[in-house]
Structure 1
Amino acid sequence: MFQKHPILKHLLLMVAVSVVVLTVVFLGIKLYARQGHEFELPDMVGADIEDMRADASLDINYVIIDSIYDEHDAGGRILSQDPKAGTRVKKGRKVYVSITAYSADKTFLPDLCDLSVRQAVSQLFSMGLQGGTLRFVESPDRNAVLSLSQNGRTLQAGQEVSRGSRIDMVVGLGDEGGYTVVPFVIGKNAKEARRDVLTASMNVGREIYDAGASRANAVVYRQEPGYTGITRYPLGTEVHLYYRDASEQEAERMIREFKIDSSDIVQPEEPSAEPMDDSYDLEW
């Protein structure tokens, strides 16, 4: 066909070349425009929100979606960002961040007396409070919260307290005392680990962060005593927690690779190591 109509052949060839050239030019212009309007988001976690806003090289619209008070941290520090670091975004893009609060909000202390430790801890954490120290005393009301205090000052239900503050509890030991199983907290952040330790009627002991570890990203990589699922400890025993920075994937890997180290396990003298489930049920 093209041999009989060479002009048609040349016309079609010219059209094809024109389409290819225009496509390349269009893509080049689009890529150039994108490079001029897009950039890679830096890692903002740990930075001060006001410092980031003052950075003229970043054209970002920051939207604060949550603020969390931490008595150990200064206000305004970025705890999380969305989109994540490394994402390419256009200038003027909204970036959603959570930060540490500059001051603590207030809340009213619920009535926790006569509740079990598990119920009391659950209520405290759901209201943005934290469980402090559990002190067990002789009382026929075993595992029941008898009184609340903060910094040595007795608290009453309905009293105003700061969110994020720690509430100490006096708990009944029962007539014969009791024992519990240390929970497994490897791979959990500080809030989750503290909650699980207290729920098991144990106390949080030393909390040690590796050099350079941030409280926002750190998870537990070591606990003392170690978890066995069967070894029982007296109520109120301290569990020491060691933290280091880890991504979500690294935390999951730590959990998968965790192996019980018998050298870390301290056997209590009185109770026998009979199999128990992992529900933190107490034995009296």
Structure 2
Amino acid sequence: MGNTKESIKKIAIHLGLVFLTVTVLSFIFLKIYLPSYTNHGQTVTVPNLEGYGVEELEDFLSERDLSYEVNIDSGFNAEAKPFAVLKQNPKPDSKVKRGRKIYVTLNARTAPLIKMPNLVNSPLKNAQEILGNIGLVRGEIIYVPDIGDNVVLEQKYRGRNISEGFEIPKGSQVDLVVGDGLGNQTLEVPSLTGLDEIDAEFLIIGSGLRMGNIDYVQTDSVASGIIIKQMPPAGASVKTGEQIHVWISENKKSGNNF
């Protein structure tokens, strides 16, 4: 009987020692080794890198025990310098471990090309939203007499009409010719024959009408640059804001060589 009690006592002591050993080792692992291994508590605050040039990042981040990697995809902001940081991950003021890599998106050197949508006959408000959504800027709004109230009649880039699908740089300004809603008056089409393009456009706009398509016709009987035909013809009755299409002479000897 005494031997049995002695054996039980020894087993209990051994189990107690094992439990104590496990407890001590667990404490050392969780409180000392693991925090040391994972750099627990050794964090840094991510700085705001927006606007920094890529050539500045190496020294700037290494001083803060951080590094960086450039994302394959780039963005574009016309107001930022080429290869400047546009976005970053993690975001500024985030708490990260020392040595953490910051992923940055850089500004492209040149603007990507955007295909121009068709804004003609769209309400001005919708046209402005479309331009903003695709990365273009609404430029000047030119009101002309037309029955369409705040309806886009023409879309222009650098003073020229552009059609749907025409590619222009992202961030470009697009001017919009818009109806003023007062184009219900009847006008008489002026005679444009014999005028050059500049004088004809001045007369058309001054008459409350709009310049339409311009076609060039090769001829050796009229000097180059002179209007030889128009549609609607002179004297026709039209509504305010309607387009006048013209044909301009082009001397055969001075034709374009491509």
Normalising to structure 2: TM-score of the pair? 0.55
Would the aligned equivalents of 2:152 and 2:176 in 1 still touch at CA under 8 Å? yes
Q: Summarize deviations over 1:100-135 as a string: whole Å, max 9, x none.
A: 332211223233222222332233233321222323
Would the aligned equivalents of 1:38 and 1:91 in 2 still touch at CA under 8 Å? no
The amino acid across from 1:48 in the alignment is: G
C-alpha distance in 2 between matches for 1:66 and 1:129:
20
Q: Is structure 2 residue 51 aligned with structure 1 residue 43?
A: no
Q: Residue 52 of structure 1 corresponds to which residue in structure 2? A: 57
Q: Is structure 2 residue 17 aligned with structure 1 residue 14?
A: yes
The amino acid across from 2:83 in the alignment is: G
Q: Residue 111 of structure 1 corresponds to which residue in structure 2? A: 118
**Pair member with larger Rg:** 2
Identity %: 23
Could you say what the CA RMSD is over the residues aligned between the two structures, in angstroms?
Answer: 3.1
Q: Show structure 1 runs of 5+ residues with no match.
A: 177-284
| Residue of structure 2 aligned with 1:102, choices 96, 109, 112 | 109
Distance 1:89 1:137, change over 3 A: farther
Distance 1:63 1:41, change over 3 A: farther
Matches within 5 A, 1:1-284: 5-27=8-30, 28-35=32-39, 39-40=43-44, 42-46=46-50, 47-54=52-59, 55-57=61-63, 58-64=65-71, 66-85=73-92, 86-89=94-97, 91=99, 93=101, 95-150=102-157, 153-157=159-163, 158-175=165-182
Query: Per-residue deviation at 1:171?
Result: 0.9
Normalising to structure 1: TM-score of the pair? 0.51
Equivalent pairs, count: 172
C-alpha distance in 2 between matches for 1:156 and 1:56:
49
| Secondary structure, counterpart of 1:35 in structure 2 | coil
The amino acid across from 2:180 in the alignment is: L
Distance 1:51 1:35, change over 3 A: same
C-alpha distance in 2 between matches for 1:38 and 1:52:
22
Q: Show structure 2 runs of 5+ residues with no match.
A: 184-258
The amino acid across from 2:124 in the alignment is: V
Q: Summarize deviations over 1:203-259 as a string: whole Å, max 9, x none.
A: xxxxxxxxxxxxxxxxxxxxxxxxxxxxxxxxxxxxxxxxxxxxxxxxxxxxxxxxx
